[in-house]
Structures are given as C-alpha cells and as structure tokens.
Amino acid sequence: MDHINELKDLLSFPQRIAITMHQKPDGDAIGSALGLYHYLVKKGHSVTVVSPTDYADHLKWMPGTPKVLIGPNDPDRAKWAFDGADLIFCLDFNALYRLQDFEASVKDSAATKIMIDHHPDPAGFEDIGFLDTTASSTAEMVYRMIDALGDKELVDKDMAEPLYAGIMTDTGSFRFTNTSAEVHRIVSHLIDVGVEVHPVHEAIFSSFRPERLKFLGHCLLNCLTILPEYKTAYIKLEKEVFKEFNVKSGETEGLVNYALSIKDINLGVLMTAQDDIIKMSFRSRGEVSSSDLAKEFDGGGHFYAAGGKSKSSMEEAEQKLLASLEARKAVLES
C-alpha cells in the first residue's frame, strides 16, 4: 500500500484525529468510519467521528454509534473537531463538496488530510491518499490498512462489526461483481473475531418501519416505468410522496436496485425530487456504465453504481434521461 510508512509515522504518537465521510452516509461510509474509530482509539489517539448529515436508523446499532457527532445537530463542535485536529481521515468520498456544510471546515483546517476511498476520479484535495477503485468498499480498505500497519491481531469485535457491515452493504450482501476472494478472506477473519452474521443482517434488512414498506409498495406500483426498448426501468419520486408516507432520511436506499432486478433490464434509475434538485441514482449491469450516465448529470461514481443531480424540474430531468438513453441505445441493448 502506498504511503503506509508515512501513515505509520503519523500514528506513532498520540494525535487528535477527526474521521468524516460523505453526506447521508451509507453502511460503508459509517461502517468504515466506526471500524477505523475503534482501531485508532485502541492505538491511543483522541478521535472524533463527524457525520456531515444525519443518517438512516437501520445503521445506528454499530458499536460507537453514540460517539458519532451529527454535524447539523452541533455545528460548532463539528467545526471545532476539524479545526483542532492534527489528522482528518476522509472516508468513502474523494471530493470535498460531498461534505455539504462542512466542506470549508475541512478544507481550511491545517490538519493533514488522509483520504481512504474506492471511487474513481478523485478531486485531489488530500495530503495522503489511499485510493483503490477495485476495492469492494472503503471498509475493506480500512481493514487492509490496519493489516498493512502490522496490526491485524488488534482487530476485535468492535472494529469488526462496522467493517463487516460496510463490506456487506457495498457488496450487496456479497453478490455484486466487486465481491472478490479477498473480500471473503477478510470477512472470515471478521467472523473469527466475533461478528455474528445473522444479527447484523437482521439489524440492517429486517428493521423497516411499516411506513417504509408501504412506501416501497407505492413506489413499485405507481412510480415505476419500464422501457423494454432501452432495457431500462426508472422510478420517479415527487416531493409529495415523501410527505404522504413520512419517509425518513436514508429510506430510499436500495430502492433503485428493484428497477435493476427485472429480467432483461440493464439499467435502473431512481429520480428523487429534493429541495432544489432532482437527485439521480443509477445502477447497471453488463456493458452499461452508470458512471458515464452520472457524469451527464453533474455526478459520478462506480461503473455499476453512480449518482448525480439535475437543477431542473422532474419533467426536464426525465426528458434529459430519455435523450441519454436514446444516445446509448446500442449499449443498453447489448
């Protein structure tokens, strides 16, 4: 691993450390952060985890959860954590705009910024970067970093549970194309040190509010459009739907995968009306690049999972999507 000796030197004496991740953290963002948190605390550092926004309840069971500072709930403390840090670990993102309201706090901090991430096209804000676009997840990279620092034997249940959750969610429960033999070797070690697989899966996938399930039913019944000619299915969510079903932050996660679960569909899209943008999520298979599509919508991501946005009405975003589909019809049909 590049820069590992540099990092080893930086961690050879007690440091004040902030760990942060992209806004609306998913299982990998929060799991990698908490796995790293427990490791750094065990090594004698003073560590604060700051999330730029709140996140989904089904991720709030991990060891260390009460220690996560939700930025908007206490912005002064969050800014102070970045300002007063010697090191800031930036996990699961590679461009500072993904920190939303805390972009400037991290940018302006004199701390050494260490990025650990698996997304392509890094913006280059970091002082030390660990970037591996072939890694299944940032949690996998945190595990490999701990191993490369010679501390594999320090991995305990508190570190292992969040790391397992991160790897599990970013690999779609070990079924996406990023699920390597190495992933299974790492996970087997995490289980060896105490992860109980069943409760983790239950906590993440069997803890839905009844409203969330009804919302899912509504989305599939009333908001899904299937376009066999483009081998594409997309779900369109207007703002009113969120009010009607009292949808909470993070509860649209996984929805886009339903679009891609239809036979002979190569592209799934979720269009969500937010405050002043339409948020676009793309999932694909085969030759179809989600990241290429996301770039047309001011975004980016992985080849098979990416996101972007449109500062337009839903109708205009939909028209733009249809034009993008027409332009790549040959690939979609492949």
Question: Is residue 253 close enough to count as binding Mn ion by CB under 5 A?
Answer: no
Question: 330 CB contacts (<8 Å, ≥6 apart)?
Answer: none
**Which one of ligand 5GP, Mn ion, none interacts with residue 52, CB within 5 to 8 A by kind?**
none
Select the residue interacting with Mn ion from 161, 170, 253, 318 (CB under 5 A).
170
Question: Is residue 92 close enough to count as binding Mn ion by CB under 5 A?
Answer: yes
Binding to Mn ion in span 100-139, by CB under 5 A: 137-138
Would you say 105 or 137 has its CB closer to Mn ion?
137
Contact 49, 69 (CB under 8 A): yes
Would you say 157 or 309 has its CB closer to ligand 5GP?
309
Would you say 158 or 318 has its CB closer to ligand 5GP?
318
Name the pairing type of β-strands 112-117 and 278-284: unpaired
Question: Is residue 28 close enough to count as binding Mn ion by CB under 5 A?
Answer: yes
CA separation for the pair 140, 161 (Å, rounded): 12
**Least Cβ distance, residue 309 to ligand 5GP (angstroms):** 6
**Which one of ligand 5GP, Mn ion, none interacts with residue 35, CB within 5 to 8 A by kind?**
none
Would you say 21 or 160 has its CB closer to ligand 5GP?
21
Contact 143, 186 (CB under 8 A): yes
Would you say 195 or 247 has its CB closer to ligand 5GP?
247
Amino acid identity for residue 305 in this structure = A
What is the signed CA dihedral for 225, 227, 231, 233, rounded to 10 degrees?
-10
Which residues contact ligand 5GP by CB under 6 A?
A: 119, 281, 299-302, 305-309
| Residues near Mn ion (CB under 5 A), total | 5
**Which one of ligand 5GP, Mn ion, none interacts with residue 119, CB within 5 to 8 A by kind?**
ligand 5GP
Q: Specify which residues 208 forms β-bridges with.
A: none
**Vertex 185: Cα angle to 180 and 191 (nearest 5):** 125
Nearest one of 157, 188, 163 to 42, comparing CA atoms: 157
**Least Cβ distance, residue 136 to Mn ion (angstroms):** 8
**Which one of ligand 5GP, Mn ion, none interacts with residue 309, CB within 5 to 8 A by kind?**
ligand 5GP
**Least Cβ distance, residue 110 to ligand 5GP (angstroms):** 26
The conformation of residue 198, written as its DSSP 8-state character, comes to: H
Cβ-based burial of 257 (10 A; exposed 0-12, middle 13-18, buried ≥19): middle
Would you say 87 or 305 has its CB closer to ligand 5GP?
305
Would you say 120 or 194 has its CB closer to ligand 5GP?
120
**Which one of Mn ion, ligand 5GP, none interacts with residue 306, CB within 5 to 8 A by kind?**
ligand 5GP
**Which one of Mn ion, ligand 5GP, none interacts with residue 166, CB within 5 to 8 A by kind?**
none
Name the pairing type of β-strands 267-273 and 232-237: parallel
**Which one of ligand 5GP, Mn ion, none interacts with residue 300, CB within 5 to 8 A by kind?**
ligand 5GP
Would you say 229 or 316 has its CB closer to ligand 5GP?
316
Question: In Å, how far are 23, 140, 304, 314 from 281, measured between CA atoms?
Answer: 15, 23, 11, 14
Closest residue to ligand 5GP, based on beta-carbon distance: 307
CA separation for the pair 280, 321 (Å, rounded): 10
Contact 283, 267 (CB under 8 A): yes
Contact 90, 126 (CB under 8 A): yes
**Which one of ligand 5GP, Mn ion, none interacts with residue 144, CB within 5 to 8 A by kind?**
none
Ramachandran assignment for 323, one of left (phi > 0), alpha (psi -120 to 50 degrees), beta (any other)? alpha
Q: Which tokens go with 52?
A: 């730029």
**Vertex 127: Cα angle to 124 and 128 (nearest 5):** 95
Residues in touch with Mn ion (CB under 5 A)? 28, 92, 137-138, 170
